[in-house]
Chains A and B, each alone.
Chain A
Amino acid sequence: MQTDLTTRVVRDPKYQELKSKRSRFGWWLALAMMVVYYGFILLVAFDKPFLASRLGQGVTTIGMPIGLGIIVFTIAITAIYVRRANSEFDALAEQIAKGALE
């Protein structure tokens, strides 16, 4: 029965744990991504000379490592989420499903 199943799952403290942990983790990471990206955009809009300032003697500017850094950050933050979700969260979800379906 779908409704019984739902009630059983909702009563499971592990389900509450999964829900709050995942949602907190997901929103924090999403916020981090937005801060980094929109921070970069605002930097471009308001402080172009900073991004165009040179690193050391050559022509390479500080904007280059920052820009490429954002690409690496985007991949890294996705990997962090996927790693935790695929181990910790999935294990929890499996336990919940087992508990509810037995």
Chain B
Amino acid sequence: MTAPRSTRSLCHAAAALALLVAAGASFAAGADLGQAEKQPTNWTAISMFAIFVVGTLFITKWAAAKTKSAADFYTAGGGITGFQNGMAIAGDYMSAASFLGISAAVMVGGFDGLIYSIGFLVGWPVVTFLLAERLRNLGKFTFADVAAFRFSQTPVRVFAASGTLVVVAFYLIAQMVGAGQLIKLLFGLEYWIAVVIVGGLMMVYVLFGGMTATTWVQIIKACLLLAGASFMAFMVLYSFGFSPEAMFAKSVEVKTGIASAAGNTPDDAARQGISIMGPGGFIKDPISAISFGMALMFGTAGLPHILMRFFTVPNAKEARKSVLWATIWIGYFYVLTFIIGFGAITFVLTNPQFLDAKGGLHGGGNMAAIHLANAVGGNVFLGFISAVAFATILAVVAGLTLSGASAVSHDLYATVLKRGKADGASELRVSKLTTVVLGIIAVVLGIVFEKQNIAFMVSLAFAIAASANFPVLLMSVLWKDCTTRGAVIGGFLGLTSSVLLTLVSPAVWEVTLGNPKGSALFPYASPALFSMTIGFVGIWLFSILDRSPRAAKDRAGFQAQQVRSETGIGASGASGH
């Protein structure tokens, strides 16, 4: 082996290691986009994105004409069909981080990436079986309508609004920082410009078009993303004669080649090559695995911007159909990202055009799907996929902001502050004002957190949703002895314990706050196993100990609530708000 080659091999090894470490961090944390280097300005991508923006602004104009009442603003008047809503839910859920992050994770770890994406899917049946139709029958605008149905309004609404705003805040910061990094990467724009564009456009959609515009932005984006990803997966499979075995065999060969170029013995190289076909380092200890799995599974059932989507359909039947469609599209999407990840091994890792001097991907590990787009579809398709990635962030951010704004205007302003006596017009005004405030906060936080390691934020949002929102919602709907006091105390216990345990977990205490390795008090990757237990036990304990007159009223109200949640009698209809 000549001298320059061995230097290069060493660099290969270092780059592969760096990629693995990065992938490990994003596994533990929910696939964030990380830091990115600025790329040359990409005019194809920018013009494609401009077309998307112009199109969605026309839709917003159309939606604005239809958005007159608070009900129009929050729920698009309840007139979305199950299929449309399923598409919109999928659009809300398939974030840029999951598209780029999971395909990159598959490229690095193969099978491990599949384990990760399965976690994001399995929450949907739980939502369907236990919550979707009951939510639709009991609620009107926000999940607090359901959680507070038979309880004392003020305390439960204050809790639900806190749960909503905390989840929205963490999710929003992750999306804004991701947007800035991604756009810097794809379009070659400055970070702050990217963040301001996202914040500004999102404000326009939500402010003028409310839920109608937000829904259609999500639907269009879901169609574009699914179409683009389908094309990429098709091209990959096509090149292997539609034989997964051929694709896997080639990937193993490529990985073996990289390992052997890095100076491994043939045996070691072969072992590393074949390792992508089975589970690797993703799951270290069973407790972390179960805990992380619980955060993903039950967090989905507690995300306020997802729950809110169930109020946009006219009845329980459409609510069920919408989760089924969402599950189908999201499941299909994860199969695509899996193929795309393997495609990236065979097309991107073998092409020097996409690799830097160290053998890593140009622009960072998360660029796997982007480079593959270039490899299978040329520069125009690369522009298309980049524009779709930007549109994706926009759709997710708009949904989050709308749900945060409704928590403030519907739960805090109209119900708590005005004791339910606010008129629709002033409630609508407050929600629009909140949208502007949230938009500005999101932009500021996006800029403040630019250089921070925010990898933990998405998984934290899922953990809080699973430990605070989900237990309160489930217990209030299904357990007759649940009381106001139990729900509020248990909910806040779940909320604080999930935040505190995350704070002292390795991902935040050591990686983000820079404390020495091994000093984290809580050793596991996710708090959900513990904080969910704390939330449920808290609700149970403080409910059964509750002997107040209010508790008697809460329990007495269960039968009427159950009749409505089971049969839909008295549920707010498509236009009967």
Contact = CB atoms under 8 A, between A and B. Distances in A.
A37 B111 contact: no
Nearest to B562: A19
A81 B319 CA distance: 13
A59 B274 contact: yes
B317 A45 contact: no
Nearest to B280: A48
Given A33-B122, A59-B274, A59-B277, A78 B128 contact: yes
B293 A38 contact: yes
Contacts of A85: 133, 320
A41 B293 CA distance: 8
Contacts of B327: 74-75, 78
A93 B323 contact: no
Nearest to A62: B278
Contacts, number: 165
A26 B118 contact: no
B115 A67 contact: yes
B279 A51 contact: yes
A33 B316 contact: no
The interface residues of chain A, by DSSP majority, are classed as helix
A51 B331 contact: no
B263 interface: no
A82 B324 contact: yes
Given A51-B111, A68-B335, A22 B566 contact: yes
A63 B278 contact: yes
A42 B28 CA distance: 17
B507 interface: no
Contacts of A22: 566
Interface stretch (B216-224, B282-290, B304-312, B388-396): B282-290
B141 interface: no
Interface residues of B, number: 53
Contact of A100 (B119, B244, B283, B569): B569
Interface in B104-130: 111, 114-115, 118-119, 121-122, 124-126, 128-130
A41 B133 contact: no
Most chain-A Cβ atoms within 10 A of its Cβ — which of B293, B560, B567, B569? B567
Interface string B549-573: 0000000000110110011111000
Given A52-B278, A86-B317, A97 B244 contact: no
A42 B121 CA distance: 17
A34 B130 CA distance: 13
Contact of A41 (B289, B321, B338): B289
Interface string A54-66: 1000111101100
Given A74-B124, A74-B327, A74-B331, A60 B244 contact: yes
Given A15-B566, A60-B248, A44 B320 contact: no
B331 A81 contact: no
Contact of A51 (B118, B130, B278, B563): B278
Nearest to A37: B122
B101 to A, nearest CB: 18
A33 B126 contact: yes
Given A15-B566, A27-B129, A64-B111, A45 B289 contact: yes
A90 B245 CA distance: 45
Contacts of A97: 567-569
Nearest to B328: A75
B245 to A, nearest CB: 4
B317 A90 contact: yes
Nearest 10 interchain pairs by C-beta = A52-B278, A26-B129, A45-B286, A67-B114, A61-B277, A58-B245, A37-B122, A6-B560, A93-B567, A82-B320
Interface of B: 111, 114-115, 118-119, 121-122, 124-126, 128-130, 133, 244-245, 248-249, 252, 274-275, 277-279, 282-283, 285-286, 289-290, 293, 297, 316-317, 320-321, 323-324, 327-328, 331, 334-335, 338, 559-560, 562-563, 566-570
Given A29-B125, A60-B277, 14 more contacts: A9-B567, A10-B559, A18-B567, A34-B126, A42-B290, A45-B283, A52-B278, A58-B248, A63-B277, A64-B248, A64-B277, A68-B114, A97-B569, A100-B569
